[in-house]
Amino acid sequence: MDVTDTRAPAAQRWRAPVASDPVNASVALPGSKSMMSRALVLTAASVGASSLASPLHARDTRLMVAALQAMGTRVVTADDALWLVHPRPLRGPAQIDCGLAGTVMRFLPPLAATGTGAITFDGDPHARTRPMAPLLGALEDLGVSVERDGGQGLPFTVTGVGRVTGGEVTLDASRSSQFISGLLLAAPEFDRGIVVRHEGPPVPSAPHVRMTVDMLRAAGAAVDDSRRDVWEVEPGRLTGRAWHIEPDLSNAAPFLAAALLTGGTTVVPGWPYHTSQPGDLLRDVLVEFGGRIALTDEGLTVRGTGRIKGIDIDLSEAGELTPVIAAVCALAETPSTLRGIAHLRGHETDRLAALAAEINKLGGDVTETDDGLRIRPRTLRGGLFDTYDDHRMAQAAAVIGLSVPDVELSDVACTSKTLPDFPHMWDELLGTSS
């Protein structure tokens, strides 16, 4: 993979294809963005080389690889199916492009602090508005030099002196679990490790924090997560290892939704029996919508009836599933309430506002609440659906377009953030590829 070009692709308008028949497909999903980001960060901080099997080729991983390379890590991406990472001392000066990737902007500053020299972080225009302040404050509390050109967020410069003392730090991670994950991932390198305490409204995305803890332990770190809202990582050297990246279960959402909505069947091969990916919650959500599921050695099979029941659900553990779930709710027969997702206002775009605005433009009836969305059934019509550079808004629009003719996405190329092949895979699912 050529990792040198980290720019967002040019916008590409796209008319979502309508499903003329029930779908009947097996959809192999590329690797999990979240596992990739963690594996890359951990390998760069390890002693000895590592390999990543079934790596995800997408903008977020290109950004992460390019960033690690800019800090001195050797990453070999010549073999599409197996990437190799040779850790080297991390050092500046370096300019890091975070794009719109939360994992890059939240996971790398703590790691950069363990290196030497000035490492500057910036990203796409909207990335400058994504929450960062609690993480920057925590780094400052740990004695790290942070020059805040952007005030509360990007751009900023972390200047490392080759060591971080570490110790206890308290922060409010209610706006993003990634603040905690970022600190934990770098903490084995800190002289005293770290004790992170969260104080504030609940931390979202619990499975993602568990994924961080699981992967740290797999790399050899000692982590204590037995106390509520407290995470402790002991200092110690991580060891290089072979990582196998699971398929991205959150990116399965639109393909599984297509089975529900068209009364068809979708199989996702390689769906793990046990995983920390929040996308695994789809198994419960799809049943609540009225689908039938089976998890076997063949993968996850989802069968739909074409009729959708509205749901009332707390999505705080799996906020990234919201756009596709909201799209299904907009096509359901009864009202839905999505709760526990106020933090989505700080995602790729303000997803609560964006979903309400775009679904309502198509004739929908969506209202924002303090912490989510209320969605009432309406007959939708075609029209322009703005995707706000957000891969999951594009997926939501494609799902609505399955049964609503003439839904046109302002841009489908933004799906390259985590699934560059999305338009092609969608055509294959529907048998509309030319």
Ligand X SMILES: O=C(O)C1=C[C@@H](OP(=O)(O)O)[C@@H](O)[C@H](O)C1
Ligand Y SMILES: C=C(OP(=O)(O)O)C(=O)O
Which residues are documented as binding site for phosphoenolpyruvate?
A: 33, 102, 130, 178, 351, 392, 417
φ and ψ of 120, to 5 deg = -100, 135
Residue 198 as a binder of ligand X (CB under 6 A): the answer is: no
**If binding is defined by CB under 6 A, does position 204 make contact with ligand Y?**
no
Mapped onto helix, strand or coil, the DSSP state of residue 398 is helix
The interface partner of residue 92, options being ligand Y, ligand X, none and the CB cut-off 5 to 8 Å by kind, is: none
Closest contact distance (angstroms) between CB of 174 and ligand X is 9
Position among 271, 392, 402, 407 found at the interface with ligand Y (CB under 6 A): 392
Residues 6 or more apart from 268 whose CB is under 8 A from it?
26, 27, 28, 29, 247, 249, 252, 255, 256, 299, 300, 302
How many residues touch ligand Y under the rule CB under 6 A: the total is: 8
- Of 303, 311, 425, which Cα lies nearest the Cα of 24? 303
d(CA 380, CA 34): 34
Q: Which is nearer to ligand Y, 204 or 423 (CB)?
A: 204
**Gap between the Cα atoms of 292 and 169, Å rounded:** 45
Alpha carbon dihedral 314, 28, 32, 252, in 10-degree steps, equals -20
Of 292, 421, 343, the closest CA to residue 102 belongs to: 343
* 408 in active site: no
Site map (CB under 6 A) of ligand X, residues 137-176, x = contact: ---------------------------------------x
Q: Check residue 320 for interaction with ligand X (CB under 6 A).
A: yes
Q: How far apart are CA 33 and CA 312, in angstroms?
A: 28
Using the rule CB under 6 A, which residue among 77, 157, 181, 322 binds ligand X? 181
Stretch that binds ligand Y, among 24-32, 98-106, 289-297, 369-377 (CB under 6 A): 98-106
| Residue position matching structure tokens 């410069």 | 157
In our burial notation (b when 16+ CB lie closer than 10 A, e otherwise), range 408-425 reads: ebbbbbbbbbbbbebbeb
Query: Nearer to ligand X by C-beta: 157 or 176?
Result: 176
Binding-site size, ligand X (CB under 6 A): 14
Tokens of residue 32, six digits: 């999990």
Per-residue contact flags (x/-) with ligand X for residues 20 to 49, judged by CB under 6 A: --------------x--x------------
Segment lying near ligand Y (by CB under 6 A), choices 74-82, 97-105, 234-242, 405-413: 97-105
Q: Of 303 and 343, which has the nearer Cβ to ligand X? A: 343
When binding is defined by CB under 6 A, the residue of 43, 103, 266, 276 that contacts ligand Y is: 103
Partners of 97 in the β-ladder? 122
Do the Cβ atoms of 239 and 222 come closer than 8 Å? no
* 63-122 residues near ligand X, rule: CB under 6 A: 102-103
- Residues in contact with ligand X by CB under 6 A are 34, 37, 102-103, 176-178, 181, 204-205, 208, 319-320, 343
- Residues in contact with ligand Y by CB under 6 A are 101-103, 320, 347-348, 392, 418
